[in-house]
Amino acid sequence: MDYFNKDNISELYPEAEDMMLPAMLIWKLPAGKEDKLSEVCENGEYFLEEKIDGAFYQFVKTQNYSYLFGRTVSRKTGLLTEKGANVPHIMGALSSIPADTVIVGEIYVPGGTSKDVVSIMGCLSEKAIARQKDNPIHFYLHDITFYNGEDVTALGAEDRYDLLHKLWDECGLAQYGFLRLAEKVTENLEQTISDILARGGEGAVLKKKDAPYTPDKRPAWSTVKIKQMDSIDLVCMGFCPPTKEYTGKEIETWTYWVKTTDDPEFGEVEELSMSCKYGEEGWQPVTKYYAFNQYSAIKIGAYDNNGTLVELGTVSSGLTDEMKQSMSENPIFYLGMVVSLDCMSIDKGSKTLRHPVFKAWRGDKNPEDCKISEVFA
């Protein structure tokens, strides 16, 4: 299918006639289908990539030229806008990839937003380069549509990603700090989404492993965009004790260890060590919060129609070490206080919260105003 006038492409962007493609559009769960997210994350048919707050661009390498096309169509030419001159560092870094290859990604400003991208990519090249003097713009690579002369849009998303990863390694692109390859996540997808959103990330895209690249289309369930969280207010009902056993991967260098001994006066007691005891008999690794006797999470709830406070779950994500220490030392101060949360989703049918994240304490709101009927309305 021809998306643009090939004669115009040939005149303005020689050798790119077959490789100028509109962006594939990303689908999102429609209203009322939010409860399907867990199923999508758990059925094994998808992988995840983090979503970056930037602007879509595709790098096109032909036999003799290199181009960087955006997603917008120029009113003057009827073709995709070309902005390679604005980012010579990126164009130079990608010059080593095979000819007749197209890499799809996001141009972004680290720590910035899409508005910051526009301030650079939306102006003339001379000014764009000057604005990047101290902070060069970055390119986040997440897909590929042509490879070494072969159209790979019909391949599944996972096969395309693996091909992109191969290209990344073979061309040594990791040496450039302003290039970033999307990470393919295949396990714990829902928790990964929650973690991304909890740290203020833009979101995530779930890609169906066997889905082809479909330019200018938004096929349902081929890609699923997760961008925002639902905000709610609930009541602090109590606290969760810390988990004791440490099960992490850093056991050979872990700091917190306990050893149980029999004391003639006090009976069985635990001795805490703040240095690694790996391999020493009798010593057991414990979590940091167990070592410091800190609460690990908040029990949260809301009032039913009878005025009874009902527990709805717990929240630990977003709580800082300082907050956990304060709650452990002064639990009475926090009990009954309203806590503001973000949730990846709210299941109205089962009345459950998926991956809540602590935002702030709300001393300005009465706990009685937190009602189940409103949370799951």
Rounded to an integer, the average pLDDT of 143-159 is 97
What does pLDDT average to over the chain? 90
- Whether the per-residue pLDDT at 280 is higher than 70: the answer is yes
Longest CA span, the chain: 93
Which pLDDT value is given to residue 68? 97
Report which of residues 54 and 15 the model is more confident about: 15
The pLDDT of residue 261: 83
* Average pLDDT, integer, range 29-45: 81
Q: Give tens-digit pLDDT for 237-262.
A: 999 999 899 988 889 999 999 998 87
Reported as a single tens digit per residue, the pLDDT across 221-236 is 999 988 766 778 899 9
Looking at residue 257, its pLDDT comes to: 92
pLDDT tens across 65-119, in order?
999 999 888 888 999 999 999 999 999 999 999 999 999 999 999 988 888 888 8
* pLDDT score at 205: 94
Task: Return the minimum-mean-pLDDT range out of 111-120, 175-184, 201-210.
Answer: 111-120
Q: In this predicted model, which residue has the larger pLDDT, 142 or 266?
A: 142
What do you get for the CA distance between the two ends of the chain, in Å? Answer: 46
With a cut of 90, say whether residue 152 has pLDDT above it: yes
Query: Residue 359's pLDDT is what?
Result: 85
34: pLDDT confidence band, cut at 50, 70 and 90? low
pLDDT of residue 228: 64
Q: Report pLDDT digits (tens) over 314-335.
A: 998 888 888 899 999 999 999 9
More confident call, 367 vs 228: 367
pLDDT band per the 50, 70, 90 thresholds, residue 193:
confident
Average pLDDT for 206-233: 88
